[in-house]
């Protein structure tokens, strides 16, 4: 019988998953800065910043810019992007920012990227629907080459063509990349290159474990050791005297926040599919750790054992703007000491 992994609150390793925060800037940018500082004070390992455009669901339009500010405002924690939208960006420009941030922070920066969606962002930034549909692998490979430690990089592809240029600044080591994966095709793409996954809040532990099993098969077939890849998994968290009490709070706060996802505009003008918000909130309540510190600690340990992820990233802003700061403090004072 395999022993359950213990959970680390700091940097983490492959046997002791780290515990971080996932911040979408749902309550505004000044609040997000405060949450990151609170996370460091609470003893968490790091924070991951989402990136969105033209919707209030998340109010950070540049996760790398905010990461730079937070790296300067903190001293210990890692700061990552979850995720920078690669379909909207030039991969070399993003890679240069990543190396810069990693260098000046003495290695505390983490780069996560996503394909994004077929939103109006592609029109605004001029990258277009073709790049979104067909260019993610090429963009990812170019980004990876720049972060590999190579002295020069050039491109001769469908979307990027340029002569070899010097990589300045050059990364001190090959920099890892995390990929936000919501489709089998993206899982396979990341696995074929040995890149870590960012597993979202929408899937339960069994679905995430199945995703990583698929990843392991593809990674091994492409010559990568899946056992050493540091995947991250996002989990909604609600601390209260009981699970019922936590559910009552989140039933009130989650649906209005989730409703802001309806602000997305598709580039082709068609209407996006909309979830039943109450049903989706109930789904999240069923699959994530809620209740007392002891209950949540046990659930997180079980998730770590089932999924096999190496970072557990706690989504806290569902508590609402009045309670998120207190929740982060409680994670430090009550939840982290209860973890195995």
Instruction: For 311-336, give the DSSP string.
Output: EEEEE-GGG-TTTHHHHHHHIIIIIH
Helix 136-146 vs helix 91-104: crossing angle, to nearest 10 = 40
How many Cβ atoms sit within 10 Å of the Cβ of residue 204? 16
Given a cut of 70, whether residue 84 has pLDDT beyond it is yes
* pTM of the predicted model over 0.85: yes
Instruction: List, for residues 259-285, the tens digit of each pLDDT value.
Output: 999 999 999 999 888 889 999 999 999
Q: Are strands 152-156 and 109-114 parallel, antiparallel or unpaired?
A: unpaired
The architecture of the domain spanning 18-338 is Alpha-Beta Barrel (3.20)
- In the predicted model, what is the mean pLDDT of residues 299-323? 96
Tokens 């690669």 belong to 86
Q: Using the 8-state DSSP alphabet, how is residue 87 labeled?
A: G
Q: Across the chain, what does the average pLDDT equal?
A: 95
Distances from the Cα of 175 to the Cα of 108, 112, 185, 269, 338, angstroms:
11, 11, 23, 38, 33
User: Where does the pLDDT of residue 21 fall: very low under 50, low under 70, confident under 90, or very high at 90 and above?
Assistant: very high
138 with 159: CB under 8 angstroms? Answer: yes
Look at residue 272 in the predicted model and tell me its pLDDT: 82
Interatomic CA distance for residues 289 and 165, integer angstroms? 48
Given a cut of 90, whether residue 138 has pLDDT beyond it is yes
Tokens 């990151």 belong to 36
Q: Are strands 238-239 and 232-236 parallel, antiparallel or unpaired?
A: unpaired
Look at residue 340 in the predicted model and tell me its pLDDT: 86
Ordered by start, the domain boundaries in the chain are 18-338
Instruction: List, for residues 64-77, the tens digit of each pLDDT value.
Output: 999 999 999 999 99
- In the predicted model, what is the mean pLDDT of residues 167-173? 96
Look at residue 13 in the predicted model and tell me its pLDDT: 46
- In the predicted model, what is the mean pLDDT of residues 46-53? 98
Q: Using the 8-state DSSP alphabet, how is residue 226 labeled?
A: G
- In the predicted model, what is the mean pLDDT of residues 328-337? 98
Given a cut of 50, whether residue 4 has pLDDT beyond it is no
Look at residue 5 in the predicted model and tell me its pLDDT: 43
User: Where does the pLDDT of residue 254 fall: very low under 50, low under 70, confident under 90, or very high at 90 and above?
Assistant: very high
Instruction: List, for residues 218-233, the tens digit of each pLDDT value.
Output: 999 999 999 999 999 9
User: Where does the pLDDT of residue 2 fall: very low under 50, low under 70, confident under 90, or very high at 90 and above?
Assistant: very low
Instruction: List, for residues 177-212, the tens digit of each pLDDT value.
Output: 999 999 999 999 999 999 999 999 999 999 999 999
Look at residue 125 in the predicted model and tell me its pLDDT: 97
Look at residue 275 in the predicted model and tell me its pLDDT: 87
Interatomic CA distance for residues 312 and 331, integer angstroms? 13
- Length of the chain counted residue by residue: 340
- In the predicted model, what is the mean pLDDT of residues 237-264? 97
**Closest Cα partner for 7 from 265, 334, 300?**
300
Residues facing residue 166 across a β-bridge: 152
User: Where does the pLDDT of residue 9 fall: very low under 50, low under 70, confident under 90, or very high at 90 and above?
Assistant: low
Look at residue 48 in the predicted model and tell me its pLDDT: 98
């Amino acid at each position: 019988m395999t022993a359950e992994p213990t959970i680390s609150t700091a940097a983490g390793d492959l046997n002791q998953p780290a515990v971080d925060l996932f911040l979408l800037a749902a309550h505004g940018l000044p609040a997000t800065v405060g949450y990151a500082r609170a996370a460091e004070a609470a003893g968490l390992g790091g924070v991951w910043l989402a990136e969105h455009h033209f919707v209030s669901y998340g109010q950070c339009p540049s996760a790398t810019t905010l990461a730079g500010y937070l790296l300067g405002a903190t001293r210990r924690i890692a700061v990552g992007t979850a995720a920078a939208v690669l379909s909207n960006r030039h991969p070399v420009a993003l890679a240069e920012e990543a190396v810069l941030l990693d260098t000046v922070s003495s290695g505390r920066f983490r780069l996560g990227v996503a394909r994004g969606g077929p939103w109006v962002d592609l029109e605004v930034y001029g990258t277009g629907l073709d790049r979104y549909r067909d260019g993610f692998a090429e963009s990812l490979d170019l980004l990876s080459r720049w972060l590999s430690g190579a002295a020069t990089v050039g491109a001769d592809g469908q979307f990027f063509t340029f002569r070899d240029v010097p990589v300045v600044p050059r990364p001190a080591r090959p920099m890892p990349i995390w990929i936000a994966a919501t489709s089998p095709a993206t899982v396979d793409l990341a696995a074929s290159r040995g890149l870590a996954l960012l597993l979202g809040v929408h899937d339960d532990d069994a679905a995430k474990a199945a995703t990583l099993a698929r990843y392991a098969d593809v990674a091994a077939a492409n010559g990568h050791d899946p056992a050493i890849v540091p995947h991250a998994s996002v989990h909604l968290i609600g601390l209260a005297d009981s699970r019922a009490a936590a559910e009552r709070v989140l039933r009130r706060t989650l649906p209005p926040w989730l409703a802001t996802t309806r602000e997305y505009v598709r580039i082709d003008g068609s209407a996006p599919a909309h979830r039943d918000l109450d049903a989706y909130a109930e789904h999240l309540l069923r699959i994530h750790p809620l209740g007392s510190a002891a209950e949540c600690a046990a659930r997180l340990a079980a998730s770590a054992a089932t999924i096999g992820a190496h970072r557990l990233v706690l989504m806290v802003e569902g508590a609402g703007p009045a309670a998120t700061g207190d929740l982060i403090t409680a994670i430090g004072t009550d939840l982290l000491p209860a973890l195995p």
